[in-house]
Every structure is written in structure tokens, then in C-alpha cells.
Amino acid sequence: MAAGSKFPSVEKAAGQDSDHDDLPHESIKDAVIRFAGNSQDGIQTIGGFLARLAGRSAREVMTYMTIPSTISGGPSIFQVHLGSGEVLSPGDEADFLVTFYQHSYDAHIESLREGGVCLYDSDNVEPNLDDKRFKLVGVPITSTSIEAIGGTAKDRGKNIFVLGLVTSIFNLNRTKLTEIIERQFKGKGEDVFRNAMLAFDSGYSYPLGKIFDKTFDLKHGESKDADRVTTDGNTALAYGLIAGGVRYGAGYPITPWSPIMETLRAELPKYGGNFSQAEDELAAVSIALGASYAGHLAVTGSAGPGLSLKMEALSYATMAELPLIVINVQRGGPSTGLPTSVEQSDLLQAIYGSHGDCPRVVLAPQDVEDCFYIAIEACRIARKYSVPVIVLSDQALSSRIEAFPEPDFETTVLPPELDQEPRDGSFKPYPLDGPTRHAPPGTRMTGGKYPVVTGLEHDEWGHPTANPQLHQQMTDRRRDKIVQLGEEIPTPEIFGGESGDVLLVGWGSTWGPIREATLKARDEGLKVSSIHFRHLHPMPNGIGEILERFEHVFVVEMNDQGLYGHGQFATLLRARYCDSRIQSITKSDGLTFKIREILAGIESGRKAVPAK
């Protein structure tokens, strides 16, 4: 990817074996490796091992996978982008492609860059040997791995065989990988672990001299934190919620949200709480609201279809001013749509989906690491302003793996609070001139009057009223506290020059690709900068001044351009700033943005809209 060798000296990591020193080594800065097979072949497992190895070798890593939305599996890929410097995207094209089947070869050979290596299972694949764009290397993966483990293992183990082969080809740290394999397989029995190691060693000792004239030396990472954690977005988000003090919640299974509820169901009891699997999405949000009303900040979540079902109860949460965390792991819509693909098309639903004037907070994490921190931020805001907060993650973030420094739990963890201090007769949950203060059940009301929380319009004491002036005042109150939050959140930093020709604007998981596109465009001499939003509603202030310093503004998002030519966040920005230069780069193919797609969008957009 990024050109130029910033890292002159190549040092081998400790523990690195040198079995293949007879072959010359080519030093490389990063590598995009794509495994193409079927979802039941365990390619996610070995991709995950490589990602974890990167995290333990001070390297950057980003993975990308496709999952068939069928029950019994089907064609699937797992792509790992390993780099010694910053890795911002899973990679537009692969440098190294492993194909297990003919269909894998046929479907993915074009995703290999020219000059790249395609390693194919010569037991299953007949490649086009006339295709001279690529280096085609055949290894009898199936038969060799069966031979290594013994006759009964059938197809199992060939993923680990390939892992051994890749370890050898890229001179990866064999000792560390063995530890990772051991941790994964030891618990499943000695036999399983022994077979895995047989397959791994067989791949590792495969005579490379027969098929390669060189091996690759992936440079050691630059990161200061040699010992980083490696995980996916859903896991990071689930633990972020726990760190934010969430102990109760409820959900209903739906892809790609389910892994978060599975984690919370298993983990929350350790923290003294519980998570309920509800009968439907309406019950899930209601159970969570019940826990929040009872004084425990709670979570519910879903994907787009489920968020639609929760909308009535979310409107109640705004009216009653109850805190609640709602996770929406976005997928392709509308309706059942593309359940295992990515899209950012729930933004307007998240902000405006409920009936009535229903202001609420919407946040989006920018990468896997941020899934952890955005969850804590959501908890902080929900508590401080006593409001529902929706977090928009997405399918790409949910399953992709990244390495990042371990959080400092001593300073980030928020303890759960249950405030049952007695309240006296002056208690007002909704003062017109102050913050919301609920008295959870269990609180003694020494003035004698107990509060009833309602979805009807109410006065400062929470008592129902249809008084016209009060409805206006309370509407102001519910809106103004969200506006006040907008004052407190920081203006996004500009990446690139402070002014220039093009400003790219992004939110959510497009952060990496937009940043990489910005770097690439600047390398080519274009004056391109970018800003990124984590707080989508309210937006931070100070954006107008930034927009003015650029000739063109392009909002990059994975949703449709809509009837009027603008994506969902672009529509909001235009509504706020009335700036007709705000244009969109959108797409709806269910895939993450490639760098070249963003660059092409800039080029065509600049032609279509002349500078001011």
C-alpha cells in the first residue's frame, strides 16, 4: 500500500525460525492475504490466528470477511491485512491469494493484484496456467494435510496446514503462533491439539524450494505497545458496555447483533447482573427500560429491522427522560435485505425513526478499538443527560479483527450507580431550569408524594398535563439538553491540511478507508483533507468554519444517494449548514469502501461540481 520505505533496518523478531535461509528473503512492509474457501473450512480460524499474531508482534492488522447468509455455509473469504505501519483498510487487492476450490479460484483470482501470488490446492483447482499476470503456485493441500493427520481426518486440518505454509512463506514467528494454536485447541482435547500441530508442522516444513524462488520477510511492527489485544468490533463493544457500568439488558437474536447479546448473557452474571433473551424486540427494549427505570443503566440492541420495532418504546424513553443504551449493528436493508453485508443506511432511522418530536443521541464507532470507547461514551452521556443513546456500529466492524493497545481499565471503567438516597418534598424529576433527576423505586420520598413516570406530557413533577404552555416548555427542555450536549463534544480534528481543495467527511467504520484515501491523494499531490464524526446527533459545533476552508466537500458513506442526490449524513449536514457545496460519495453494494472508489468519487465529483 503506502509507498516508500520508511523503515530502513529489518530486524528479525525473537523466536523466528530460519529453516528457509537457503531461499533469498524479500523484505516487505505489509501484506494482504486472502483465503478463499467455504465457511466450514475454518479459514476464519486461521485468519484470526494471523491477526492475533500481528497484535503480539507490534504489527497493525485489519481483517475482512464475507459470510454466506445461508444456514449450511457456502463460499466465504477471510482477508488479513498485516502491516508494520498503520493499517487503515483491509486492502483493495490481495498480494497473496489462497484458493481451496475451483469456485474460490474463479471468483477471486481477479481480486489479486498483478504480480501477486495465487497459491491453489492442486487437488481441487485447475488454474488457467496461461494467465501470466499472476504467479500461480500449486500445492496438494488436501492430500498432504490428510497424510499429515492420518486417513480419517478428511478435510479437517487443511486450514492449519495452510497456516503452517503461510508462516513459512512469510517468515512469521512460529513460536508465538504455536502458543496461539495451543491456547485455542488445548481445551478441546489433546488429540485435537496434536492433530492441529501435525497439520501445522506439515505445512511449515513443506519444501518451499520446489515452488518459490524467494520467501517474504514481513517487517517487525512499529507500534510501541508490543503486547496488544486483538479482537473484533462486537466483542470490543460488549466489553465497552460493561466498562461503562452496564449490568442489565435484553435482546432478541438477529445478525449481526447476536454475538453482543451472547457475550453479555455469559458475562453479566460475573458482574452481578443479568441479560434476558426476550420474546421479541419490543419486549427487549421494554425489559431494558424497566431495568433503567429501576436505577440500573441498561442496554438493548439489534440490527436495522429490530431497531424499527423498538421505536415506540424509544419515544417513551425520550418523553420519560430515561437513560438507555441501544446498539444497532447495521446491515444491508431495507427489510431482511443483505443480513451479512455492510451498510450505513440506518442513520436517519436512528435519529428520526420515532413518532413525535423525539430528540435523542446517536453515536458511531470509527474502528474496532473505538467500539470499546464509544460504548463508554454512550453510557456517560445516557447517565449525564438521562436520555436514550443509540450506537450505530455495522456488519463490517462487528466481525473484523484489529489489534490495539489494551485499555487502561483503572481510568476508563465507570462503576454502576444506584442512587436511593431519600428525596424530600422539593423533589422534581423534570425541573425546567435543571437536569433530569429520577428517584428510582426503593427511594423513600420523605415528602410523602411518590413519583409516577409517564409517557403522557407532564409537568416538572412528572404529573400528566395537556397544558399548551407546558408542552412547549417541556419540548424545549428535551431538545435543549441535547443541544447542550452538542456544546460539550469536541470539534473533529482535520486530517491533512487545515484548508485546501477537497474535504472528505465520514462517520462510523469508513474512518480507515477515508484516511487511507486522504493519504494517497496527498501523495499524488492533491490538497485533500478529511474529518470524521463519532457524535452524529447532536453534531459537534465548529463544522461550518471547517467547510468554508475547502473548495469541495464530499461526504463518504455506505448508503444511497436518495431522491435528491445526497446520502443520509450529507442530508443532515446540508440541512444544518445550507451549503450547496456539500456533495455525496455513496454506494450500496454491501461492501466496504475501497480506496480507489473514494479517489474515483473525488475525481468525478470535482468535475461535476465546479469549485466556487
Residues in contact with other proteins by CB under 8 A are: 52, 55-56, 183, 227-231, 235, 239, 242-243, 247-248, 250, 267, 269-274, 276, 278-280, 282-284, 286-296, 298, 312-313, 316, 320, 406-407, 409-410, 413, 415, 439-445, 448-456, 463-464
- Is 320 or 505 the residue whose CB approaches other proteins more closely? 320
Locate 30 and state its grid cell.
505489509
Q: Is residue 189 left, alpha or beta, with left meaning phi > 0 and alpha meaning psi from -120 to 50?
A: left
Cβ neighbours of residue 596 under 8 Å, at least 6 residues apart? 92
Locate 459 and state its grid cell.
409537568
Longest CA–CA separation in the chain, Å = 88
- Is 456 or 600 the residue whose CB approaches other proteins more closely? 456
- Is 47 or 496 the residue whose CB approaches other proteins more closely? 47
Smallest distance, other proteins to C-beta of residue 334, A: 24
- Is 177 or 556 the residue whose CB approaches other proteins more closely? 177
Smallest distance, other proteins to C-beta of residue 380, A: 16
- Is 368 or 539 the residue whose CB approaches other proteins more closely? 368
- Is 407 or 567 the residue whose CB approaches other proteins more closely? 407
- Is 108 or 310 the residue whose CB approaches other proteins more closely? 310
Smallest distance, other proteins to C-beta of residue 350, A: 19
Q: Please work out, in degrees rounded to the nearest 5, the angle formed at the alpha carbon of residue 353 by the alpha carbons of 347 and 355.
A: 160
- Is 317 or 351 the residue whose CB approaches other proteins more closely? 317
Smallest distance, other proteins to C-beta of residue 112, A: 31
- Dihedral sign for Cα 573, 579, 580, 584, please: negative
Smallest distance, other proteins to C-beta of residue 584, A: 36
Long-range contacts from 258-263, C-beta under 8 angstroms, 24+ separation: 259/234, 259/235, 259/398, 260/234, 260/301, 260/327, 260/329, 261/301, 263/234, 263/235, 263/238, 263/239
Locate 374 and state its grid cell.
464509544
- Is 175 or 454 the residue whose CB approaches other proteins more closely? 454
For the beta carbon of residue 490, count every other beta carbon within 10 angstroms: 10
Q: 423 burial class (0-12, 13-18, 19+ CB within 10 angstroms)? A: buried
Q: Cα–Cα distance between 144 and 445 in angstroms, integer? A: 75
Q: What is the DSSP letter of 134?
A: S
Smallest distance, other proteins to C-beta of residue 85, A: 21
Smallest distance, other proteins to C-beta of residue 453, A: 5
Smallest distance, other proteins to C-beta of residue 230, A: 6
- Is 448 or 468 the residue whose CB approaches other proteins more closely? 448
Smallest distance, other proteins to C-beta of residue 271, A: 6
Q: Cα–Cα distance between 265 and 273 in angstroms, integer? A: 9
Secondary structure element (H or E) that encloses residue 244, with its range: none
Cβ neighbours of residue 370 under 8 Å, at least 6 residues apart? 511, 534
Smallest distance, other proteins to C-beta of residue 305, A: 17
Alpha-carbon Rg of the chain, whole angstroms?
26
Amino acid at 574: R
- Is 334 or 441 the residue whose CB approaches other proteins more closely? 441
Locate 28 and state its grid cell.
516487505
Q: Cα–Cα distance between 390 and 350 in angstroms, integer? A: 7
Q: Cα–Cα distance between 238 and 375 in angstroms, integer? A: 8
Smallest distance, other proteins to C-beta of residue 315, A: 8
Hey, which residues does 117 pair with through a beta bridge?
96, 135
